[in-house]
């Protein structure tokens, strides 16, 4: 008997089970990483519209699933060539898996203590190119974007396709 390919429905069920069993973000990430990789490589959920990008934003964000209470969401993101998001952080834990083509991730380190509203001093802290099946994860932080030259912290607002 052949096991069917991993799909979005099974991934969401697995996410629900994992987050029901623990609230420890590090433990959640450890368990979700291989599942995100499996889903990314299966591509059973991938549709042509998931490649659409917002020209002004430079990328597209597509909501694949969100719990009614907003505690869990799954997105697909696509990038225009040579474009990407500004330096930013995440408002929750996140697991990101490459699906198609390379994606260059630049990692940033905050140098100031975050005590001055609207001010941020950051510096590049590495870079890595991720491809299909590669996974990167992040723990909880506030949701902001940063302007390294102006040393500003700004709200990170996304245009999300539904």
Q: What is the CATH number of the domain that holds 110?
A: 2.60.120
- Domain assignment present for 3: no
Domain that holds residue 110: 8-161
Q: What contacts 74, CB < 8 A, 6 or more positions away?
A: 8, 11, 12, 15, 63, 64, 65, 66
Instruction: Report H helices in 22-118.
Output: 25-42
DSSP letter string, 118-136 = TB--EEEEEEEEE-TT-EE
pLDDT of residue 153: 82
Selection from 89, 101, 83, 105 nearest residue 40 by Cα: 101
Structurally, the chain folds into a number of domains equal to 1
Residue 41 domain flag: yes
Q: What does the pLDDT read at residue 65?
A: 97
Q: Does residue 26 lie in a domain region?
A: yes
Is residue 54 assigned to a domain?
A: yes
**Residue-level pLDDT at 132:** 96
Give the pLDDT of residue 51: 96
Low-confidence ranges of the chain (pLDDT < 70): 141-143, 156-162
């Amino acid at each position: 008997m052949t096991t069917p390919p991993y799909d979005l429905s099974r991934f969401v069920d697995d996410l629900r089970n994992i987050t029901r069993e623990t609230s420890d973000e590090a433990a959640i990430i450890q368990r979700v990483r291989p599942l995100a990789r499996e889903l990314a490589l299966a591509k059973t959920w991938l549709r042509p519209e998931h490649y659409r990008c917002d020209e002004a934003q430079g990328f597209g964000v597509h909501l694949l699933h969100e719990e009614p209470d907003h505690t869990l969401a799954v997105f697909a993101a696509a990038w225009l060539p040579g474009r990407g998001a500004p330096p930013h952080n995440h408002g929750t834990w996140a697991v990101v898996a490459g699906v198609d083509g390379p994606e260059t991730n630049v990692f940033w380190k905050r140098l100031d203590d975050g005590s001055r509203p609207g001010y941020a001093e950051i510096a590049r802290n590495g870079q890595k190119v991720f491809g299909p099946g590669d996974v990167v994860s992040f723990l909880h932080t506030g949701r902001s974007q940063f302007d390294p030259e102006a040393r500003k912290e700004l709200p990170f607002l996304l245009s999300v396709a539904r």
